[in-house]
Amino acid sequence: MVEGVNRTKKHVKPSRRNPQGGQLVMELPIDASNVLLYCSTCRRGRRIGRRYAADGSKERYCKKCGNGLGKISKPRETYANKA
C-alpha cells in the first residue's frame, strides 16, 4: 500500500454502522510492477538492471547512473572475474 496513490470512492447505503451513508474514500494496493526502487545517487526512483559483480554475486544497479543498489544472490565461482 502506498499512501495517497490509488484512492477510490465507495458509495455506501445508510446502516447502523454508517447512519448517514454517502461516499467512503478507500485506498487500494498497487501492483509491485508499478513501483520503482530509489537510487541514492540520482535521488529518485529509477529503473534497475541486474549484473554480476567481480566476486560472482548478482546485484541490482541503477540504469541511469550505474550505481549498485544491493546484492541479490550469493557469490558463485562460475561468474567471478578471474584475473
- The domain ranges of the chain are 37-83
Tens of pLDDT, residue by residue over 6-47, are: 899 999 999 998 899 899 899 999 988 888 888 989 999 899
Rounded distance between C-alpha atoms, residue 77 and residue 62, angstroms? 24
- pLDDT exceeds 90 at position 61: yes
Collapsed DSSP state (helix, strand, coil) of residue 77: helix
Pull the grid cell for residue 15: 446502516
Mean pLDDT score, 65-79:
88
Predicted pLDDT of residue 81: 80
- Comparing CA positions, the residue from 79, 18, 19 lying closest to residue 54 is 79
Contact 60, 72 (CB under 8 A): yes
- Comparing CA positions, the residue from 60, 10, 7 lying closest to residue 36 is 60
